[in-house]
Chains A and B, each alone.
Chain A
Amino acid sequence: MQNTLGEKIRKLRKDKGYTLDKLAELTESSKSYIWELENKNPPRPSAEKLAKIADKLDTTIEFLLDEGESVSAEEAADAQFYRQYRKMDSSTKEKIRRMVKLWGDDA
């Protein structure tokens, strides 16, 4: 599973030039809590903390939690085994569909 929430927080924090310590201080969290959010995908992060983090990073809690479109059962059957089970953006999906269509031209 990809830690998309953590990746977003990390990217926004770095864009602002904040260290872990700085963001922890601004959001009244511990440094290790922020690190865990960014790197370890802990279950059920506190909504109150996320709201503070979103606020200090000038974003919304919706943006942080938005997982993009989820993989439908149909797509999961489409790709038998994902190397990394994660969200693909739609242009990537479209490209792969085209590659599958051209199957055999080099096979």
Chain B
Amino acid sequence: MTESFSPQRWANTLTLLLNGVHGAAAERFPVQVPELAKEYSRHRFPDDPVSLVAGDILPTFDGALYKAPPGKKGWGIIYNSAIASRGRINFTIAHEFGHYLLHRLRFPDGLECGQQDMMRWDSEYRQIEAQANEFAASLLMPLDDFRRQIDGKTKPTLDDLGGCAERYGVSLVAASLRWLQYTERRSVMVVSRDGYVLWARSSPTALRTGAYFKTAGRPPIAVPTRSLAAQPDLLEKSRGQMTHDSDVWFAEPCEEIALASDQYDFTISLLHLERVIRTSRFDEAEDDEDAFDVMTRRLTGGN
């Protein structure tokens, strides 16, 4: 039954369909989600289609999936057309289309959100949001095409990633996060505001080798004083690039490419680390642990 398709599987199904229709033609991207949602659902679920995709100037609102009123069929995606960036609107519509495909049968009457239920609601809500985002990212930015733009070994600049954002009709942040999922490089993206890290994401190899920042449920992490993120006056036209020694962002050297966004009032730092970690024996000697700590850990079952 289709209702148990994963976000990835739905996105792949649609990607194959679009590849079949457009091939490598220029109009393949960006994905025109409103048309796709209406056309595809009309054929696949004729009794329960997406029968409306409409935008208007709707302050304090991003988008939502509505059940059609009595006497009308299916579902509607309503979104705020006044959102400043075209990319975010595109992503929002794709996200709602994801809810339609993935969740409409599981939650036929929407999500009850009574006060007493807030905890359950919260975790369930977070989970379905994550699934809708995964669907949207996969549909708008298929990995095979993304790899053709920037292969897994390439060290992109923010302009390169901006070019992909343009191609897929998404924000720079969305394109960068997608690239971080498949790159073989050790890279980390840090988004900061007023000198502290809002959130950060590492590529799989960076994560595996300990280059990451954990922000959830932790006290704020200040950006390093010698980083570009901490020195906006070094940016020219909101952009900058800088090579750092060890002990700026990490215990190893890295390259920082920064972009300050006025619109969102945050700074994006893309950090490229070297392919392999080089440790000198002298560094290791300094990192030797205190014998007391080692013993304590062994006794308390840590490793």
User: Chain A: residues with CB nearer than 8 A to chain B?
Assistant: 20, 32, 35-36, 38-40, 71, 73, 76-89, 91-92, 95-96, 99-101, 103-104, 106-107
Contacts and interface: CB of A to CB of B under 8 A. Distances in A.
Given A96-B78, A103-B69, A71 B194 contact: no
Contact of B114 (A32, A39, A40, A73): A73
B53 to A, nearest CB: 9
A36 B203 CA distance: 26
Interface stretch (B25-33, B102-110, B173-181): B102-110
B64 A79 contact: yes
Contacts, number: 112
A25 to B, nearest CB: 15
A96 B58 contact: yes
Interface of B: 38, 51-52, 54, 56-69, 72, 75-76, 78-79, 92, 95-96, 99, 103-104, 107, 109-114, 125, 128, 132, 193-196, 198, 219-220, 222
Counting chain B CB atoms within 10 Å of each CB, the highest count among A73, A100, A107 belongs to A107
Contacts of A76: 110-113
29 contacts: A35-B194, A38-B194, A39-B193, A39-B194, A39-B196, A39-B220, A79-B64, A79-B65, A79-B66, A79-B110, A80-B64, A80-B99, A80-B104, A80-B111, A81-B65, A83-B62, A83-B92, A83-B95, A84-B62, A95-B58, A96-B66, A100-B66, A100-B69, A100-B78, A103-B51, A103-B52, A103-B76, A104-B52, A104-B72
Q: Which 3 A-B pairs have the closest CB atoms?
A: A83-B62, A79-B64, A80-B110
Nearest to A105: B52
B86 to A, nearest CB: 16
Chain B binding site: helix, strand, loop or mixed by DSSP? Answer: mixed
B110 A77 contact: yes
Nearest to B114: A73
Given A73-B112, A83-B61, 16 more contacts: A20-B194, A20-B195, A39-B193, A73-B113, A76-B111, A79-B64, A80-B75, A86-B60, A92-B58, A92-B59, A92-B61, A96-B78, A99-B78, A103-B52, A104-B52, A107-B51
A71 B113 CA distance: 9
Given A89-B59, A96-B78, A100-B76, A81 B220 contact: no
Contacts of B132: 81
A90 B182 CA distance: 43
Contacts of B66: 78-80, 96, 100
